[in-house]
Amino acid sequence: MASNSPGSRLSREKLKLDFQGGLERRKLNLSALATRQPTPLQSNMERLRTHKAVGKLSFVADKSYEYSSEDLEDLGEIGRGAYGTVNKMLHKESNTHMAVKRIRSTVDEKEQKQLLMDLDVVMRSSACEYIVKFYGALFTEGDAWICMELMDTSFDQCYKCIYCDLKETIPEDILGVASLAVVKALDYLKTKLNIIHRDVKPSNILLDLQGNIKLCDFGISGQLVDSIAKTRDAGCKPYMAPERIDPMSSRQGSYDIRSDVWSFGITLIELATGKFPYPKWKSVFEQLSQVVKEDPPRLTNEDGRTFSDEMLAFTNACLTKDVTRRPKYRELLKHPFILRYEEKQVDVGSWLSTILVVQAPLDFDKLQL
């Protein structure tokens, strides 16, 4: 039998209020669930899915093709990454070969952000002849297909073939044309898009048999604010500039485009000599000690190889340790070494064809497209 004492009445009232409060909280929770914003993972893919480039291919200005996966002939896998695979494909109607990145819908948020950054940069760089071209995108079975310009190899692949298999060297003229292409690509990113690449290295410089040399892989590029960047962990550590390895050496822990100039200087020495200019580091401390505290690498006329004074000066200027004295892109574009290749015609395609005969089949697992 229920009690009618004051204490029991208070208990019943409290129970009633708790029950009603619980119902209200559950209603609020359900309402919040219904209006919850999409996660970053969902938002990234949705941005791509609703982009105007989806379902269309454009190889030249003012002409596009509507297409589906049935309009493409798969010619085989040519690369693989954490995001999925890269396949060589033929667009049958236009008879155009492409590199198609097939991105799994389950790829993690970090990879999605990098892929979208890469896509955003190449889509806005169509006016630059030194950056790989974006052709279009497609969704099929939940996966995203990103259609890109197909190149024949990377400097990372061909220089290893040249120095290890052929026992030869890369001609200075080829290095000169590559320098012109890379500096112009980086300058375009800075002046037109306010972007810093942050991952300049041989594997991100591509070549083809038509003689084109182009920069690729903008997934960890960063937006510059007042011409500086602050994210420290982006990029390939062996090519990082001293000011990026040691935050204390730069103003407020920031850096600018001159960190990419350093990375290209390291790249040039590697391509010119066939070897990375530093020994392998066993720890971050070793890297910090050598890159930050010791003298920078230098390109010299040693080992029986002779370079022009202009190339030596250009390469070593890129590796000026004091970032305040290291040249920016506009200064590099006025350098005699670069100006020489603004005028001089170099047949990169014919040279590359002699390399690819030996290099084939390519080690596509390491080729970044």
Whether the link from the prior residue into 6 is cis, omega within 30° of 0, is no
Would you say 172 and 269 are in contact if contact means Cβ atoms under 8 Å apart?
A: no
Instruction: Choose, from 118, 156, 199, 260, the residue flagged as catalytic.
Output: 199
User: Could you tell me which of 156, 182, 212, 201 has the C-alpha nearest to residue 346?
Assistant: 212
Residue type at position 132: V
Three-class DSSP labels, 261-313: HHHHHHHHHHHHHCCCCCCCCCCHHHHHHHHHHCCCCCCCCCCCCCCCHHHHH
The DSSP annotation for 170-225 comes to: --HHHHHHHHHHHHHHHHHHHHHH-EE----SGGGEEE-TTS-EEE---TT-EE-B
Neighbours of 193 (CB within 10 A): 17
Is residue 108 annotated as part of the catalytic site, yes or no?
no
Residue 184 CA to residue 250 CA, distance in Å, equals 26
Residue 145 CA to residue 362 CA, distance in Å, equals 23
Neighbours of 47 (CB within 10 A): 13
Bridge partners of 148? Answer: 99, 134
Residue 160 CA to residue 149 CA, distance in Å, equals 23
Residue 115 CA to residue 101 CA, distance in Å, equals 10
Annotated ligand binding at 101? The verdict is yes
Catalytic sites, residue numbers: 199
Residue ranges of the annotated binding site for ATP are 101
Summarize the annotated binding site as residue ranges: 101
